């Protein structure tokens, strides 16, 4: 790999990495020589991810740490585990998220709070705790937030999800400005439709059915989002600060970005 794109030797925490984009990203970083902390609320699932990574004998190491990003104590324990095991925290990938589809009038207060708590409040916890560690390090660090095109353009029947992801986009811009003087780069990715296990269960489309070589398409693969995450974690993106990169395939000219 060209040196500026390398993540070798980094310590990377990836929330929500029991499946989908987070899982593929964890595998990708370990393959690239990074030490990876795999995390989600399901201990069983993240243990399986780590076992799978270890089974390929990658140059990077991996550990599993159970964490609910809504809980401050759990996030602090997650970051402490990363630093204790590997000596630093170089990149925090805020990937944990949740959603469900419903008309705005049918969303309960509890449903609204749950989605915002996981998607936005969780990003707040992880960014603040990780940022505190990174500001004390000589070489700073990188925070990569995961938003969505629903947060940049809106999405029918996903008002709670879109609002929470819009908050992540705005937080990214503000935090990037505040953290820049501490050598901490903060950026964001807003994926479009990606063939994850969740999409497979709802739409019956798997990643294996998506041809990565085809340009003319509106669905991506988790690997394609992982590529951009790795870019933002590497020195190749050193002049990219506070940006939200939309990764959504063919432009939706004259229609909503949230449409398939």
Catalytic residues: 161
How far apart, in Å, are the Cα atoms of 230 and each of 150, 157, 198, 235? Answer: 22, 31, 23, 10
Please give the C-alpha separations between residue 15 and each of 9, 46, 125, 238, in angstroms, as whole numbers: 19, 10, 12, 23
Q: What angle do CA 201, 248, 239 make, to 5 degrees?
A: 130
Q: Of 233, 246, 56, 67, nearest to 149 (Cα)?
A: 246
CA 162 to chain centre: 16
- For residues 193 and 248, the answer to whether their CB atoms sit within 8 Å is yes
Q: Distance (Å, rounded) from C-alpha 228 to C-alpha 121?
A: 24
Token pair of 170, please? 């705005």
């Amino acid at each position: 790999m060209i040196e500026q794109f390398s993540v070798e030797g980094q310590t990377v925490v990836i929330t929500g990495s029991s499946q989908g984009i987070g899982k593929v990203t964890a595998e990708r970083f370990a393959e690239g020589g990074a030490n990876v902390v795999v995390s989600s609320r399901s201990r069983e699932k993240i243990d399986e991810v780590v076992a799978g990574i270890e089974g390929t004998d990658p140059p990077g190491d991996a550990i599993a740490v159970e964490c609910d990003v809504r809980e401050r104590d759990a996030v602090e324990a997650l970051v402490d585990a990363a630093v204790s095991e590997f000596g630093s925290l170089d990149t925090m990938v805020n990937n944990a998220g949740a959603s469900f589809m419903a008309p705005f009038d049918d969303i309960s207060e509890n449903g609204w709070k749950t989605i915002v708590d996981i998607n936005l409040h969780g990003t707040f916890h992880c960014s603040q705790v990780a940022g505190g560690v990174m500001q004390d390090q000589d070489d700073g660090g990188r925070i990569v937030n995961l938003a969505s095109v629903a947060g940049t353009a809106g999405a029918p029947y996903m008002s709670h999800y879109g609002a929470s992801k819009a908050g992540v986009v705005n937080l990214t811009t503000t935090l990037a400005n505040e953290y820049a003087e501490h050598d901490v780069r903060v950026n964001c990715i807003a994926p479009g439709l990606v063939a994850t296990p969740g999409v497979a269960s709802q739409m019956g489309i798997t990643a294996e059915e998506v041809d990565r070589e085809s340009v003319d398409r509106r669905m991506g693969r988790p690997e394609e989002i992982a590529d951009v995450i790795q870019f933002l974690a590497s020195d190749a993106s050193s002049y990219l600060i506070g940006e939200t990169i939309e990764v959504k395939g063919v432009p939706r000219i004259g229609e909503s970005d949230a449409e398939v």
